[in-house]
Amino acid sequence: MNSLVRRKVKIVCTLGPSSRSVEQIAGLIEEGMDVARLNFSHGTHEFHRQLILSIREASRQKGRPIGIMQDLQGPKLRVGMLPKEGVELKKGDTVLLYPEGSAPKLSTHGKIAIPISAEIAQSVSVDAEKGARILFDDGKIATRAILISPPEIVVEVEVGGRLTSQKGMNLPGTPLSIPCLTEKDLEDLSFGLSQGVDAVALSFVRTAQDIESLKEKMRKITNDAPNVIPKIERAEAIEFQDSIIDVSDGLLIARGDMAVEIGAEKVPNVQKRLIYSCNQLGVPVITATQMLESMISSPTPTRAEASDVANAVFDGTDAVMLSGETASGSYPRETVETMARIILEAERTHSLYSRHTEVLPMPGSIVNAIESSAAQIAEQVGAVAIVCLTHSGMAARALAKYRPDAPIVAILDNETMLRRLSLVWGIRGEIIPKIVATDDLFAMVESVLSKNGWAEADDLVVVTAGVPTLRRGTTNMVKVHRMGMQNERVII
């Protein structure tokens, strides 16, 4: 069985200037990309339209379904346009923050005037209190508010540095009332839905209501809404993580902004808690930010980065994400290949180091009972694969929650649903043109497995399905099947 099928943890690649052509994207797929992330903080709709067309074509050429995740920008807390060389801020300097595009109302005498994003200036200045910490450029520059007169704030520099245009702002410890979705986000969302994206990542999430609000807006646009994946980056989101996970289709641990918000020393513990909570509920979780960042400019990772990726695998993450490494780096293809090798090695020894604890089936759920049993049976009989016949993908997702050693093969009649499973741990899949009768079910399973090299004659596989076959929501059967023995009918 090839390494692509053996690898359980998925790889998300951010696409950009270094990975925009069909040929470049096909190379990433060949090395192991499962999901393409489109960062809507950059690029026009036409740029993303062409990128989506290239992803779909590369996916067709390589014969692998690739999910597309649209990452909405959210309310960008950022500095406005500054001189090309930036502004040098020294400890003790007094800085006036004012809305970009307007003239300062407060006196600039003795102050360095710095514009900030106009869309957030009013809200931030109302939410912040005197003494609040305001950080810039991922925390490299630290200031503290000494005077607030909405929409302007006067701060004193505590840790200086050179500040350049468009650098981010963070207000750790200050609850912010800015809505998750800006007008730009709503326009981008409508575009993404029209292009058939498979998941939408929501920035700046604070409570479960933010996810519910996005889902409600999507229902007004489409009857087949993609998965919603909140990005956990603010302290409020961590506080309400359980209720957020309950209403989400996945979770993205955005460790960069999180480190600035809560302190880098707290991130590893939060990462483990979030992954554990998601694992218990079977909610796919992505670990992101700086996983192999040195490979933006180097063909090899640091030892610390290799350990970081491996530890995310041991923690139980469903997917790991690359950002600048594949979007703008010099070695995008090598980075994906390296990440795949690290994952495979970590998975090879997962029984020694894994922190994934046993998950119990949900009481009263037939599909959970069936899939939990399938995982146990596959281990006991040494099955080479577990095959889920499913309409919605729910059975395959339920099976993934139990982390079986055997690869999970989802067989569906809906390509969209298969792409939406591309983030879920351990699942590979195949599309069938139509539903087959129960009598033909095992012949079809054998055909799919043999064609892809996932099983050979005399191999044992475990099959779960619904009888009547593939009717929505009817998973009620598990069978141990020996390849080449279609007349064998041992149903458990």
Catalytic pick among 8, 37, 255, 419: 37
Query: 3-74+180-348, superfamily in CATH?
Result: Phosphoenolpyruvate-binding domains (3.20.20.60)
Over residues 42-97, the pLDDT tens digits come to 899 999 999 999 999 999 999 999 999 999 998 888 899 999 999 999 999 999 99
- Please report the pLDDT score of residue 472 as a whole number: 61
Annotated catalytic residue within 289, 326, 335, 464: 289
Average pLDDT, the chain: 91
Q: Is the pLDDT of residue 491 over 50?
A: no
**Could you check whether 87-170 and 366-482 share the same CATH topology?**
no
231 assigned to active site: yes
**pLDDT tens readout for residues 318-332:** 999 999 999 999 999
More confident residue, 490 or 32: 32
Q: Given this model, what pLDDT does residue 484 score?
A: 87
Strand-pairing partners, residue 168, are: 78
Choose, from 78, 333, 420, 482, the residue flagged as catalytic.
Answer: 78
Active site residue 289: yes
133 is catalytic: no
* The one catalytic residue among 8, 10, 206, 231: 231
Residue with tokens 């393409």: 36
Percent of the chain with pLDDT strictly greater than 90: 78
Which listed CATH number (3.30.360.10, 3.30.70.260, 3.40.1380.20, 2.40.50.110) goes with 366-482? 3.40.1380.20
Note the pLDDT of residue 439.
58
- 428 in catalytic set: no
Rounded mean pLDDT, 219-230: 94
Domain boundaries, the chain: 3-74+180-348, 87-170, 366-482
pTM of the model: 0.91
How many other β-carbons are positioned within 10 Å of the β-carbon of residue 84? Answer: 7
Residue 398 binned pLDDT confidence (cut-offs 50, 70, 90) = very high
User: Residue 135 pLDDT more than 80?
Assistant: yes
The domain at 87-170 falls in which architecture?
Answer: Beta Barrel (2.40)
Tell me the pLDDT band of 177, cut-offs 50, 70 and 90.
Answer: confident
Categorize the per-residue pLDDT at 309 as very low, low, confident or very high, splitting at 50, 70 and 90: very high
